[in-house]
Structure 1
């Protein structure tokens, strides 16, 4: 597998390359699922109706991690596919827990096939990820450690819905597990597959973790103010689900009149989520989340510099990080 690159690639070009490289292997892996699970996974990935899967950001980070060490991409493909399977295991289960009816502009798995089938399909994707990495103990350890962090973050996210008060630090720790852990693992896995140094693995993991926190902050903003036609999720879905997302928690902790009104509303069933979105902004939660996303981006860049990796891969990792902070879906 060779590349011919004569110019600095945009984020869209990098993601297209990552998807083109990974998706055939991902499709082949899904074909190995039990026959009862295969059509469910194909629906979730958008292959059943031709809509297509998502951007495949995480596999692209794995490939760039390998490229950063000068390793052939083939060495990182199993890990790239496994990361995407784990990510989608979490999405399928997340939709069940949140009760969201749409994702990527199509019915969620639980909505189309039922909650029980969705839980089994998520389990199947996770099991397949582990199977793909059999015989690779270090790679398996890195990925499964991230899965445990992801589950802990998701557990905290659910617990926060039942709590009247959640601190910003608690919410940030939740996001570090729910989102940062898998992005950090994706970057580290590429280095592991490529035989990079311990320092490169540590620094790229930190890079991915910081990018993950920026990603979650942007995702939380889109969960409130994103357009449904663009994001593919119901408008105000996070507020309807009483998610203690980062901008919401920042607003609740602001000590402002808007924050106090928001707290009173969050203690009851959702009645006017548009007003709640306005209150989050008035209390400073929206501006704070944007500022924090920028701060985490700068922290990510410092770890990327410290990794001392191949210059083209470093530039492309930074390009993707900036894309994540500026995205609208």
Structure 2
């Protein structure tokens, strides 16, 4: 259920990023063709509707959320040395790492300009950025380490994904007139949907095809990043295998199902968060997001799973 303002968000995004630079313009245009479906700005817009935010404010903050997401993707692609994003070559692969860093910085600068008229949201964007960075460093610290606990893994994906989505919901409804109960429910909704979203992504990285996902699959394990399906299999087998074989665990059907059930649990919690809110277009829009993620999760059950080892 796409929000009716999304076309305005896209239009404003393109207007803000229009550049006369012959070097910068083609990079921006290339990236805009790979930026995805805009889940984060949609969260801002639906939560803005629930809070009764003015249209311009909601559009501006939705644009800002997308700019932060875009900046993080450009920089993440450099860190991950990703060659493709949504079937197109990444910025750093086409124009070099130096240019890609500058493009990400340009998105950050534009973000700051957009949110400057809204001082109330600035601390929340700052916290979201810090969380994204902390999540990346946490992932670096845990690289090639299959001994991390489920709690550590969940904290990592919270820092990398869920906190940002929670922030999108919070800034959307962050007005002086929004009751605390509504803001708290929407903030928690964003956290739950973010956790489910990342767990789904971890499953897709193993189960999906490159064509279906729009990017190379099995990227996490190829870089020594153990996601929950691998960790769960490792925990199950760790008492029965010699140490040198433990990192070669292939996710079992049980571990894939365990991850799927945990994602479904967070989706259910996201729906519960909305149950206390009146039935409005905004509430129904957020419920639709939960249903869409649930549908994708269910579709993965119909696909045969394959995962590589670290041989």
The aligned residue for residue 318 of structure 1 is: 287
**Cα deviation 1:40-91 (Å, max 9, x = unaligned):** 2221111xxxxx6421111111110111123332221111001001111111
Pairwise CA distance, 1:197:
2.4
Q: How does 1:137-216 map to 2 (within 5 A)?
A: 137-192=119-174, 195-216=177-198
Q: How does 1:290-329 map to 2 (within 5 A)?
A: 290-306=260-276, 308-309=277-278, 311-327=280-296
Computed over aligned residues only, the root mean square deviation of the Cα atoms, in angstroms, reads 2.5
Pairwise CA distance, 1:310:
5.4
Matching residue within 211, 226, 230 for 1:229: 211
Alignment of 1:264 with 2:264, yes or no, is no
Say if 2:5 and 2:59, in contact at 8 Å, map to a contact too.
no
Say if 1:71 and 1:194, in contact at 8 Å, map to a contact too.
no
Pairwise CA distance, 1:254:
2.3
CA distance in structure 2 between the partners assigned to 1:201 and 1:59 by the alignment: 17
CA distance in structure 2 between the partners assigned to 1:226 and 1:234 by the alignment: 10
Pairwise CA distance, 1:37:
3.4
User: SS of the residue aligned with 1:97?
Assistant: helix
Instruction: Using structure 1 for the length normalisation, give the TM-score.
Output: 0.83
> Structure 1 pair 131/302, CA: closer, same or farther in 2 (3 Å)?
same
Instruction: Using structure 2 for the length normalisation, give the TM-score.
Output: 0.87
The aligned residue for residue 305 of structure 2 is: none
CA distance in structure 1 between the partners assigned to 2:67 and 2:294 by the alignment: 24
> Structure 1 pair 101/263, CA: closer, same or farther in 2 (3 Å)?
farther
Per mean C-alpha deviation after superposition, the further-off stretch among 67-76 and 178-187 is: 67-76
User: SS of the residue aligned with 2:174?
Assistant: helix
CA distance in structure 2 between the partners assigned to 1:311 and 1:19 by the alignment: 18
CA distance in structure 1 between the partners assigned to 2:160 and 2:190 by the alignment: 13
CA distance in structure 1 between the partners assigned to 2:228 and 2:256 by the alignment: 9
Matching residue within 15, 32, 38 for 2:25: 38
CA distance in structure 2 between the partners assigned to 1:141 and 1:83 by the alignment: 13
User: SS of the residue aligned with 1:254?
Assistant: helix
Structure 1 runs of 4+ aligned residues shifted over 6 Å read none
Q: How does 1:26-175 map to 2 (within 5 A)?
A: 26-31=13-18, 36-46=23-33, 53-175=35-157
Pairwise CA distance, 1:161:
0.9
Say if 2:43 and 2:169, in contact at 8 Å, map to a contact too.
yes
The aligned residue for residue 5 of structure 1 is: none
Pairwise CA distance, 1:263:
7.3
Q: Which consecutive residues of structure 2, in runs of 5 or more, have no partner in the other structure?
A: 301-311
> Structure 1 pair 224/262, CA: closer, same or farther in 2 (3 Å)?
farther
User: SS of the residue aligned with 1:280?
Assistant: coil
Say if 2:87 and 2:214, in contact at 8 Å, map to a contact too.
yes
> Structure 1 pair 63/255, CA: closer, same or farther in 2 (3 Å)?
same
CA distance in structure 2 between the partners assigned to 1:263 and 1:32 by the alignment: 53
Pairwise CA distance, 1:193:
5.3
CA distance in structure 2 between the partners assigned to 1:194 and 1:313 by the alignment: 19
Say if 1:247 and 1:286, in contact at 8 Å, map to a contact too.
yes
**How many residues of Structure 1 are paired with residues of Structure 2 in the alignment?**
298
Say if 2:144 and 2:225, in contact at 8 Å, map to a contact too.
no
**Cα deviation 1:146-194 (Å, max 9, x = unaligned):** 1111111121112211435211110100101100011111111110158
Alignment of 1:25 with 2:38, yes or no, is no
